[in-house]
Amino acid sequence: MFERQFLTLLGVSVAAAGLFAWGAAGHHQRDRLQTWATTRCAAAGEAYAPPAKSKDKPGQVCAGRIDQLVKFERDTNSQTAGVLLDALNDQTRKTNTDAAKARTAAEAAAAATKRMEAANAAVKDDQVGGAWFGALNQSAGLRAPER
């Protein structure tokens, strides 16, 4: 009889010790999570624990802040990519336009040079007239004065 009570007590004690150990481990894990949440929230600039008299749940404000930061980073990256892409397109368009203008100017200069050489070769006895002056005006990109 006494032996049976002792065994029962032993069994209950073992179970209680097990439950206590399980609970302690749970507490330990919970404490670690709480520490982690507190430091992460501090890094995000919000307190994990809500202020007194606040109806917010613990971590609610902090989670909102973290969501805001994530959204900010996403939006910023997206806008930055857009700005960089626009700048690249703008640069390409300017370069192409300028290349076309440079080509036009070079062609005009080549044509003027050709005409100038011909007019210069046609000069006799250093007497220059309308043809030579006209070619010179074209070489300089000028129009003759109006009369």
Partner 1 sequence: MVAVKVESTPPADALACPVAPAGFPVDQVAELPAEVREAAIRLARAYVAARAQLVRLIDWHSPGACEPPAS
List interacting residues with partner 1 (CB under 8 A).
76-77, 79-80, 83-84, 86-87, 94, 97-98, 101-102, 104-105, 108-109, 112-113, 116, 120, 123, 125-130, 132-134, 136-147
- Among residues 45 and 141, whose Cβ is nearest to partner 1? 141
Handedness of CA 98, 102, 103, 108 (dihedral sign): positive
146: left (phi over 0), alpha (psi -120 to 50) or beta: beta
Distance CA 85, CA 82 (A): 5
Residue 135: count of CB within 10 angstroms of its CB: 21
- Among residues 51 and 130, whose Cβ is nearest to partner 1? 130
The crossing angle, in degrees rounded to 10, of helices 130-140 and 60-121 is: 160
- Among residues 39 and 97, whose Cβ is nearest to partner 1? 97
Q: How far is the CB of 105 from partner 1 (least distance, A)?
A: 4
Q: How far is the CB of 121 from partner 1 (least distance, A)?
A: 11
- Among residues 1 and 121, whose Cβ is nearest to partner 1? 121
